Structure 1
Amino acid sequence: MRVHFIAIGGAAMHNLAIALHKKGFEVTGSDDVVFEPSASRLAKHGILPAGNGWFPEKISTNLDAIILGMHARIDNPELLKAQELGIKVYSYPEYVYEQSKDKLRVVIGGSHGKTTITSMILHALQQAGKDFDYLVGAQLAGFDTMVKLTAEAPIMVIEGDEYLASPIDRRPKFHLYKANIGVISGIAWDHINVFPTFKNYTDQFKIFIETIQPGGTLIYSQTDAVLEEVVAEDSSAVKKQPYTLPAYKINNGVTTVLHNGEQYPLEVFGDHNLLNIEAAKLVCQGLGISNEDFYKHITTFKGAARRLELVGKSDTATVFKDFAHSPSKLAATMQAVKAQFPDRKLIACIELHTFSSLNKDFLEQYAHTMDKADEAIVFIDKKTFEQKKMEAYPAEVVKEAFAKNDLTFFDDPNALLAQLQSLKLANANLLMMSSGNFGGIDLVELKNKIL
C-alpha cells in the first residue's frame, strides 16, 4: 500500500505514519514545518520529508490513499491535486477505522480523562500479556509510539477525541471509529469555536452512542448529571454499564482501592483518577481480564504524561504539573491534590491558553473552579492574545469570572516567574496547570529553586 500524508508532522499524524511504515506500507508525506519530536522520530524511520512545503508533484494515481491532517488548509495544493485525480482522501480517524474494522474496537470519549483511561487500559493489557493495537493522545512510558497498527492484534484501543476529523470532514473524530465498546467519562462544554452552544456540544456525545455497533457496550460515569441525562434519553440497543467511585482510603498521601477484602495501593490519586480506574476496569473486564488482576496491574500505573505529573518534592512540599485547562479538569485536579494532602496549603496556577479558555464569553464557566486553592494564580501570556488575534482583558474581568477576588493575575511570564520564585514551600503544594508552557518557564529549574 502506498500512502501519502498531507501535514505529516502533527502528533497523531506522524505516529500513524510510523505505525503504517512499520506495517510495511510505503509512506511519504509533506508539511510546511515539522517540529520536534516529530522530525527526529520520522527521520529515524526514514520517512521525514526532504524539505518543508507542499509539492503537488508528489501526488499521482500510484497512491492508494491520501491521509489529510487537521493542520492543512482546504486549498492545500497537494489536496487539490489529489481531488483532481480522484484519489481517496481520508482523515486520520477514518483511516484508523479502515485499518481496524475487523478488530474489536474500544473507543474512549469524554470531555476529560480520555488519555488517562486509555493509558490505564493499555497498561493493564500489557501487564496481562494481551496482544492489542492502540491510538492514544500522549507519549506513554513503556510504549514506543502513540499509535500501533498490526495485522494480527484482535483488539484496537482508541482515545476518541471530539474535535473535528479534518479540514474537509467536519465530523468529530470519535464518531468515525464505530466502537464495539464505548466509554464516556463525562461531558463539560469545550471547543466552543466548533461547538458554539452547550446543546451542540452534548449532541456530539448522543451521536457517539448511536455509532456504537449492534451488540456493543456503553460504559459511562454515573457521577456526571449531564451524561446521565444523555444516556437516559438514548434508545440505542447497546448494553449500558455505569460506574462510580470504588471503595478506597487515603493514608499518608497514598490512595488505596479496597476490593473483596484486598487492598491495592495506587501511584495515582484523586476522585477523577479513581473514576478513570473504574472505567478502565469495566473495559478490561470486557476484554477478559478479571477485576482482581486488573487492580493488581493498576497498582504499577504511574500516570499519563503531564497528568498530575510529579515535578519534585521534599518532606513537606510537592510541585505538580498538569495538562488541566478546561473548567472541569481544573476543578477535578485541584480537588484531587487538596484531598490527598488536606493539611497542606495549596498554591494553584492555571495558564489560560486555548481558544475556548481565552474566550471572554466562555470565561464565566470558570466560576468557583479555584475555590479549593489557598493561593490562586491565573496567567495569560499577553503574546497569546496577539497570536490568536483576540482582545486582551484586565485582571478584574478574570477575577469576576473566577468569582475569586483574592486571585492574582499575571500576563507577563517574567512577573509570574518572580512571584513563583518568591514562594516559601513549607507544608505546601504548588500545582501548575496548562496545555501551554507558562511563557517558557522551566518548571524543573523553578522546582530546584523553591524546594
Structure 2
Amino acid sequence: MHVHFVAVAGTGMGALAGLFKAAGHDVSGSDVSFYPPMGPALARWGVRLLTGFDPAHLDPRPDLVVIGNVCRPTNPEARAAIDGGMRVTTMAHALADHMLAGRSPLVVAGTHGKTTTSSMCAWILHEAGRDPGFLIGGLPKNFEASFRLPRSASSASDRRGLPLLGEAGAGRRRTPFVVEGDEYDTAFFEKTPKFWHYQPEVGVVTSMEHDHIDIYPDAASYEAAFRGFVERIPETELVVAAAHDPRVVELVSRSARAEVAWFALEGDDTHGRPPHWLAAPAEAGESGQSFDLYAGGVLAGRFALQMPGHHNVRNAIAAIAAAAQGFGVPLSTATTALAGFAGVRRRQDLLFEARGVRVYDDFAHHPTAVDETLRALRSRHPAGALWAVFEPRSATACRALHQEPYARAFEAADRVVLAPLGRPDIAAGERLDLDRLVRDIERGGKRAEAAASVDAIVTAIARDAREGDTIALLSNGAFGGIYEKLRGALSAGAR
C-alpha cells in the first residue's frame, strides 16, 4: 500500500511509519518540521518527507492515511483526507490492524516505567530466540531502532521452556509483539485511550498516578482509562501487576478477568496480595545492581542489572514475569539477557563526562519519576554533589497539580536548578509556582534556584560544578538545546 502519515515526526508516529516501511509499504509523511533525531531517522528508513500540512500531499491518493493524535480538527491535511472520503485511521488502529493481527501482543502500561519495561521484555524475548516484534516510545540501546518486525512466524511449538506459574495461555502463544501502551487519546475524532485497541494477551501494569491532565482532568477519569485496559484482557490471558501500588491493586483486583501475577520488592506493603514474583535488592554500585528473585516463594537465583535504582528492579521483575509466565521463557535465559541489557536512551543516560563532571539525561518529569531517578543516580555516585536540573514542560508538570510532591521529589539532590515553565500560557492560578517550589526545597536544606533561561543554567553549572559532581538533566523535551551547550561550556573549562 501507499500509506501516508499526517504528523509523522512524533516518536510514536515516526516509529510506526518506519515499521510500515520495513513491512514493504510505500510510506510518506508530513509535519511542520523534521528536526533530529526523528527527521534524519525517517529519511534513513526511506520515508518520503513533506513539510507542512497541505491537502496537496494527498495527491496521488494514498491507500491509507494515518492521522496523528496531535492533529486538531482544523488540520487542513487531516480534514481533506476525512472530507475526501479517503481510508483514514489512527496510530493505534493502524498498529493493531496491520502489525498485531495474528501475533501475541505483550502490552506494557503504567504511569512510570513503560519504556524501560517494554525494552526489557523485547530484549529477553529476543535473547530467548522468540524473534519478537516491538514498538517502543524510546530507543532501547540493545537494538538499532525503537521498532522491529517479527523476524519469523514462530508458533507455540517453537517455545523454549515452560511457564513457571500457571498456564495463562503460554503454551499456545504465537510470535510475540511488544508494545509500550500509551494512555493518551487516539485522535481528535476518537477520544479513547490508545492502549484500549492493542488486544493484549499479556498485559503489564507497572504503576498508576494521575498524569496527562490535559487529557484526564481528574484521577477518576485517568483510572477509568486503565480500568478499560485491564478489562479488555481476556480471561484466558495474563495480567502482570504491581502489588506495591495501592491504586493498581484496587483497580486490577476489581477489573481483571485474566489470571493476575503480582510482583513486588521485599519489604513492600502488597496490600494483601501475595506476590508471585518477589525481588530482594542486593548489591549496588557504579556498575549497576543485583537482586535475588523468588518465583512462587522459591529462590530462582541472583540477577544483575547495569542500571541503578529500585524502580529498575521493579521494571525487571515485571519483564521477567511477562516473558517467563506469559511466554515460557526460561529464567536462566532471562538472567543472561538482563545482565546484558544496556538500557534506554534518555533514561539515566550518561551523555558525557567533562572536567570530571558526569552529565546524565533523563526523561523524568512526574515527581515520582524525578525522585526515583535522583535516588538511583545517588546510589550509583555517592560521592560528589548531585545536581538536579529540571525543566517543567509537560501539561501536567507545568500545573500546580503536583506542587507539594515536587517539593519532596528533589530530596536526593544537593543542588536544584529549575528552568522556566515550558508552557507559560497556563493561567496563573493553575500554574506551578517555581518561586514557592524553590522556597520549599530550601526548607529541606538544599540549595535551589529558579533560573531565568537555559543559558543561565549552563553558566551556573560551568561556574560551580566540581570534579566528581553528577548533573541530572530532567526533561521530557529538547530542554532548549542545553545538552550541547553544557558540553561546550564544560569542555571549554577543561582546557
Distance apart, 1:10 and its partner CA = 2.4
Deviations 1:181-210 (A, max 9, x none): 111110121111111111211221111101
Distance apart, 1:121 and its partner CA = 1.2
Amino acid aligned to 2:93: E
Distance apart, 1:422 and its partner CA = 2.1
Which of 237, 262, 267 lines up with 1:216 in the alignment? 237
Distance apart, 1:282 and its partner CA = 0.7
SS of equivalent to 1:355: coil
| Aligned: 1:73 with 2:72 | yes
Aligned to 1:432: 473
Contact 1:112 1:186 in 2 (8 A): yes
Distance 1:402 1:233 in 2: 38
Which of 280, 300, 320 lines up with 1:247 in the alignment? 280
Deviations 1:336-372 (A, max 9, x none): 2233444554322221111211113443342311122
| Aligned: 1:301 with 2:341 | yes
Amino acid aligned to 1:237: R
Pick closer, same or farther for the CA change 1:66–1:302 going to 2, 3 Å. Answer: same
Contact 1:59 1:78 in 2 (8 A): no
For structure 1, which segment, 11-20 or 208-217, has the greater mean C-alpha deviation from structure 2 after superposition?
11-20
Pick closer, same or farther for the CA change 1:331–1:105 going to 2, 3 Å. Answer: same
SS of equivalent to 1:367: helix
Deviations 1:314-352 (A, max 9, x none): 998643221111111011112222334445543222211
For structure 1, which segment, 355-364 or 102-111, has the greater mean C-alpha deviation from structure 2 after superposition?
355-364
Contact 1:217 1:241 in 2 (8 A): yes
Deviations 1:122-175 (A, max 9, x none): 222222222111110112334333223459442110000111112222111111
TM-score, normalised with respect to structure 1: 0.89
SS of equivalent to 1:72: coil
Aligned to 1:351: 391
Contact 2:309 2:373 in 1 (8 A): yes
Pick closer, same or farther for the CA change 1:160–1:393 going to 2, 3 Å. Answer: closer
Aligned to 1:5: 5
Deviations 1:89-122 (A, max 9, x none): 2111111110212211000000011000011112
SS of equivalent to 1:130: coil
Distance 2:107 2:144 in 1: 21
Amino acid aligned to 1:196: P
Aligned to 1:53: 53
Percent identity between the two aligned chains: 25
SS of equivalent to 1:358: coil
Q: How does 1:10-29 map to 2 (within 5 A)?
A: 10-29=10-29
Distance 1:128 1:256 in 2: 21
Distance 1:412 1:249 in 2: 41
Amino acid aligned to 1:137: G
Aligned to 2:86: 87
Amino acid aligned to 1:432: L
| Aligned: 1:328 with 2:361 | no
Aligned to 1:269: 308
For structure 1, which segment, 49-58 or 93-102, has the greater mean C-alpha deviation from structure 2 after superposition?
49-58
Distance 2:48 2:415 in 1: 46
Pick closer, same or farther for the CA change 1:425–1:352 going to 2, 3 Å. Answer: same
Aligned to 1:413: 454
Distance 1:348 1:29 in 2: 37
Contact 2:133 2:151 in 1 (8 A): no
Pick closer, same or farther for the CA change 1:78–1:348 going to 2, 3 Å. Answer: closer
Distance 2:116 2:470 in 1: 22
Distance apart, 1:80 and its partner CA = 2.9
Distance 2:358 2:37 in 1: 29
Which of 422, 425, 440 lines up with 2:463 in the alignment? 422
Contact 2:2 2:27 in 1 (8 A): yes
Contact 1:346 1:431 in 2 (8 A): yes
Contact 1:139 1:145 in 2 (8 A): yes
Contact 2:199 2:233 in 1 (8 A): yes
Amino acid aligned to 1:41: A
Distance 1:313 1:31 in 2: 35
Distance apart, 1:263 and its partner CA = 4.1
Pick closer, same or farther for the CA change 1:50–1:332 going to 2, 3 Å. Answer: closer
Contact 1:363 1:401 in 2 (8 A): no
Distance 2:204 2:90 in 1: 22
Pick closer, same or farther for the CA change 1:352–1:207 going to 2, 3 Å. Answer: same
Pick closer, same or farther for the CA change 1:150–1:276 going to 2, 3 Å. Answer: closer
| Aligned: 1:258 with 2:278 | no
Which of 186, 203, 228 lines up with 1:207 in the alignment? 228
Distance apart, 1:403 and its partner CA = 7.8
Contact 1:423 1:450 in 2 (8 A): no
Aligned to 1:115: 115
Distance 2:465 2:150 in 1: 51
For structure 1, which segment, 280-289 or 311-320, has the greater mean C-alpha deviation from structure 2 after superposition?
311-320
TM-score, normalised with respect to structure 2: 0.82
Distance apart, 1:214 and its partner CA = 3.4
